[in-house]
Amino acid sequence: MTAAGANWAGNLTYSARELVAPATVDELRRVVASAARVKALGSRHSFNRIADTDGVLVSAAALGGPELDSGRAVVRAPAGMRYGELAPWLQERGWALANLASLPHISLAGAVSTGTHGSGDRNPSLAEAVEGVEFVGADGEVHRIARGDADFGSAVVSLGALGVTTAIELRVEPTFEVAQTVYPDAPLDRVLERYDSVTGAAYSVSLFTTWRDPDRVDQIWVKERLDRPGPGLPEGLGVSAAGGPLHPLPGVSAEPCTTQGGVPGPWLARLPHFRLEFTPSNGDELQSEYLVPRTAGVAAIEALRGLAARIAPLLQVCELRTVAADTQWLAPSGGRDSTALHFTWKPLQREVEAFLPELESALAPFEARPHWGKLFDTSGVSRLPGFYPEWERFAELRERLDPRGIFVNGFLEAVGL
């Protein structure tokens, strides 16, 4: 047992005095059965206390290795394994995941349990690739919920409320190649006029802006899947491909970024923005994200433009991208195609938290759902149940599976679960 320490960004220290890393599921069962409070800890990439507890923190990183069922096109992997570790294992065997998040440093269970996603008009969140979840529940027993089961809509984006996930089954497909091209300096008005054409230009598209110039998009990242070519960026944007590699953050070396310049490469080396062997993004940062209905995407971006003078002093970079609807009850993109508004803030927690109510008020008309693992204003969470049709159903299931409340923590209490 060791001290739990701090999260990835260093903006919070976990309350738990102990972190355990069981080597077997039976060992984990004993921990859960004997503890008053337990939470699972993944790669520590949450910026709030969703993974905190005053009891015992558990890492599932040591619980075995991946197993491939090529007949079902499914891989079963330990919950604590990182995407950047699973991806090359799959690639060596000729398989791939359909999509990845911006960085490969995150754990499987941590990512899917918070609704983490990549980008693309037709690409849902990472949770939608899950075919089954195994977890140790409050009774100390191993449970499995699979696609098709009545409660499957609760099992993946579960916020750690149902138990400690031990293994995840993910749908895979034959490996494929992607080419990534970055286009700097686009007029925002032209982008918004052609918003559907821009986001639909390729398999995955991301827009980056610092909001220092509220009329410009600093970079457009276009990831083209070679076996499913898209139409490309629409005419009239007035952009050209960058002459060399770029980092999304101004003035930062592009060395940590995945290969650009339209050079084809395997899916795992192009779909993320950052490479596993480097610190992703800036590292010294905070993050927030809100997902609004795709139909409200342009209006929500215009609302951000109206706040540009307030956002820019606190911001490192803002990423705008699209996510297809998924079927998880509490997924921020659940049940609706979405536009995701992501903020990488400077490490100014007091100032950022003071600004979030103003930002969320501006996005309130669009039913903006916060990313569960990032900073948002928990004082305004009374609106959250109205954004999720199955909220009460999830709450009832959580109570039934965890009557002792051993997986409850301050975060779940703050959001009303």
Q: What is the pLDDT of residue 383?
A: 82
Mean pLDDT of the chain: 94
Specify the pairing of strand 264-266 against strand 216-225. unpaired
For residue 399, the model assigns a pLDDT of 94
d(CA 307, CA 18) in angstroms, rounded, equals 42
Handedness of CA 327, 333, 339, 343 (dihedral sign): negative
User: What percent of the residues of the chain are helix, what percent strand, and what percent coil, each to the nearest 5?
Assistant: 25, 25, 45
For the cut 90, the answer to whether the pLDDT of residue 339 exceeds it is: yes
Strands in 246-353 per DSSP E: 264-266, 286-293, 315-324, 338-345
How much is the pLDDT for 284?
82
Give the pLDDT mean for 208-237.
96
What is the DSSP track for 105-120? TSBHHHHHHTT----E
Look at strands 264-266 and 74-78 and give their pairing: unpaired
CB atoms within 10 A of CB 189: 12
**What mean pLDDT do residues 184-198 have?**
97
The answer to whether 47 touches 85, Cβ cutoff 8 Å, is no
Is the per-residue pLDDT at 282 higher than 80? Answer: no
Q: What is the mean pLDDT of residues 199-216?
A: 98
Q: Which residue from 264, 259, 236 is spatially nearest to 182, judged by alpha carbons?
A: 259
| Contact predicate 359/380, CB 8 Å | no
Cβ-contact 111, 133 below 8 angstroms: no
Rounded distance between C-alpha atoms, residue 163 and residue 152, angstroms: 14
Domains (range + CATH), the chain = 67-175 (3.30.465.10), 177-377 (3.30.70.2520)
Report d(CA 320, CA 63) in Å as an integer. Answer: 36
Residue 1's pLDDT band (cuts 50, 70, 90): very low
Taking residues 336-340, report their average pLDDT. 98
Range 194-201 contact pairs with CB under 8 angstroms and sequence separation of 24 or more: 194/234, 194/236, 194/237, 195/297, 195/298, 197/231, 197/233, 197/234, 198/233, 198/234, 198/237, 199/121, 199/321, 199/322, 200/121, 200/230, 200/231, 201/230, 201/231, 201/232, 201/233, 201/234
The pLDDT score that the predictor gives to residue 6 is 85
Average pLDDT over residues 304-327: 97
So what's the pLDDT on residue 163?
A: 95
Whether the CB-CB separation of 154 and 163 falls below 8 Å is answered with: no
pLDDT surpasses 70 at 281? no
Element (H, E) at 356: helix 349-363
Is pLDDT at 283 greater than 70 in this prediction? no
Packing angle of the helix pair 349-363, 297-306 (nearest 10 deg): 130
Identity at 86, one-letter amino acid code: L
Residue 213: φ, ψ to 5°: -115, 105
Q: Is 19's pLDDT higher than 60? A: yes
Closest CA to 221 of 201, 238, 235: 201
> What are 345-371's pLDDT values in tens digits?
999 999 999 999 999 999 999 999 999
Residue identified by tokens 């960004």 is 9
H/E stretch holding 84: helix 83-92
Reduced to 3 states (helix: H, G, I; strand: E, B; else coil), residue 394 is helix
Using the structure block, give the residue that is written with the tokens 């409050």.
138
Do residues 369 and 362 lie in contact, with contact meaning Cβ atoms separated by under 8 Å? no
Q: Where residue 251 falls among pLDDT bands split at 50, 70, 90?
A: confident
Check: CB of residue 298 under 8 Å from CB of residue 195: yes
Query: For 129-169, what is each residue's pLDDT tens digit?
Result: 999 999 999 999 999 999 999 999 999 999 999 999 999 99
Cα separation, 402 vs 396, whole angstroms: 10
For residue 3, name the pLDDT band (cuts at 50, 70, 90): low
pLDDT level of residue 381 (50, 70, 90 thresholds) = confident
Question: What is the Cα–Cα distance from 68 to 147, expressed in whole angstroms?
Answer: 18
Closest CA to 322 of 182, 112, 119: 119
Count CA atoms closer than 13 A to 109's CA, side-chain side.
Answer: 34
CA distance 411 to 417: 9
In angstroms, the CA 150 to CA 27 distance is 29
Task: Report which residue type is found at 38.
Answer: V
Q: Which of 49-58, 71-80, 299-308 has the lowest mean pLDDT?
A: 49-58
pTM, to two decimals: 0.95
Tokens of 364: 């309130």
Average pLDDT (259-288) is 88
Arithmetic mean of pLDDT, 23-51: 91
Q: What is the pLDDT at residue 362? A: 97
Question: What's the rounded Cα separation, in Å, for the pair 257 and 140?
Answer: 42
Compute the average pLDDT of residues 318-325: 98
Q: How confident is the model at residue 2 (pLDDT cuts 50, 70, 90)?
A: low
pLDDT recorded at residue 42 = 81
Mean pLDDT across 396-416: 93
Helix (H, G, I), strand (E, B) or coil at 345: strand
What is the band of 335 on the pLDDT scale with cuts at 50, 70, 90?
Answer: very high
Q: What does the alpha-carbon distance between residue 163 and residue 159 come to, in Å, rounded to a whole number?
A: 9
pLDDT score recorded for residue 343: 98
